[in-house]
Amino acid sequence: MHTQLKGVNMFTYLPHPIPAYRTKALRFVAYAALSLFTSVAYAQAWPSKPITVISPYPAGGGVDTVARIIAERLAPALNGTITVENRPGAGATIGAAQLARSAPDGYTLMVGSILDYAIAPHAHPALSFEMQRDLLPVVQLGFGLVGLVVNVDVPAKDLKELIALVKAKPGALSYASSGVGGQVHLNMELFKQMSGVDIVHVPYRGTTQFMPDLLSGRVAMSLDSLPAHLSNIRAGKTRALAVGSATRTSTLPDVPTFIEAGLAGYEAATNYTLFAPTNTPTDIVARLNLEVNIVLKRSDVIEKLGAIGMTVIGGSTASAQARIPVEIEKWNKVIKGGNLVLAQ
């Protein structure tokens, strides 16, 4: 027969009394176990409704392509539904602002670039969000291939010829970007500073918006993420003069790096990172990080991402967060070095 004792501390009603310091330790363990149980139970209940992944660029671009590849594989791993929603504009800050406003419950995520949000405060001083305060990088998905793509009628067959051409006619050629203060804009500004050329900037809302003008010759070039350009390059509709990676890529093995082409020290890559709103529960962040890392190890995913020039990274949330100050410092130097006024 068991007798219920009211008002008796479970840690003191034992055959042999436990010292006070051990009582505190046991209580800590009990509370920690209860907290862990609650956290696990919460994680198991998530997701109980569809998840939205924001793509802050138009459909068909590099970020959108990566978002859809990841979402397609991640949904069954979570036993849920994932929808990719395009929210382009303002150098990817419209989509990021939407994420920052979203409830931190794991149901709104975003595939974006740490580079974009390191640059954004210089271009948009009235931003409603701050990357380090409002956006939580869950995991770096990978780095995408960046390259200098020109219209086929540009009379330059390599990078040295292009630099010579532009120097002979300063301001005569133009380049397209995905918007003022976006990564494509700053990629080219870094190139301009390092090569000493003058090329006119023509901003658009995204790659898919400027592609017709690049193909027709209304703009001469872009220093863009290459996935959306590969089909046109391979079809001879545009020409890639250099890639921003440190070594040549199997995606375009005949295209030299900027370093090989004569511009020592130039490197650029698109950063693909999965973000959640700050204050998203740690158990959900941990599960997302785990499941995405598993997805990134799948051979079919590696093959698909490799086909569009992306190198898979993965890793911890901490490693993704560590990338932030690195990119902030790099692009601050570019902005200050060019005396760029990015605010619109």
Asked if 214 and 147 count as a contact pair (C-beta separation under 8 A), the reply is no
Bridge partners of 150?
221, 239
The residue assigned the tokens 């004792």 is: 5
The token pair that represents 240 in the structure block? 């890639």
Classify strands 200-203 and 174-177 as parallel, antiparallel or unpaired. Answer: parallel
C-alpha–C-alpha distance, residues 208 and 229, integer Å:
10
pLDDT at 28: 47
The residue assigned the tokens 């295209």 is: 255
Asked if 173 and 220 count as a contact pair (C-beta separation under 8 A), the reply is yes
Residue 271 region, left (φ>0) first, then alpha (ψ -120 to 50), else beta?
A: beta
pLDDT at 126: 87
pLDDT at 10: 36
pLDDT at 26: 42
pLDDT at 69: 97
Classify strands 135-151 and 269-277 as parallel, antiparallel or unpaired. Answer: antiparallel
Q: Where are the beta strands (DSSP E) in the chain?
A: 51-55, 82-86, 108-112, 135-151, 174-177, 200-203, 221-225, 238-243, 269-277, 310-312
**Per-residue b or e along 100-131, where b marks 16 or more CB atoms closer than 10 Å to that residue's CB:** bebebbbbbbbbbbbbbbbbbbbbbeebebeb
Angstrom distances, CA of residue 12 to CA of 5, 32, 148:
12, 20, 73
pLDDT at 43: 53
Output the tens digit of pLDDT for each of the chain's 344 residues: 433 333 333 333 334 444 544 444 444 444 444 444 444 445 568 999 999 999 998 898 788 999 999 999 999 999 999 999 999 988 789 999 999 999 999 999 999 999 989 988 887 888 999 999 999 999 999 998 999 999 999 999 999 999 999 999 999 999 999 887 778 889 999 999 999 999 999 999 888 899 999 999 999 999 998 878 999 999 999 999 999 998 998 889 999 999 999 999 999 998 999 999 999 999 999 999 999 999 999 999 999 998 888 889 999 999 999 999 999 998 999 998 878 777 75
Pick from 275, 320, 333: which is nearest to 129 by CA? Answer: 275
Report all structural domains of the chain as residue ranges with CATH numbers, in order of start.
51-141+270-337 (3.40.190.150), 145-269 (3.40.190.10)
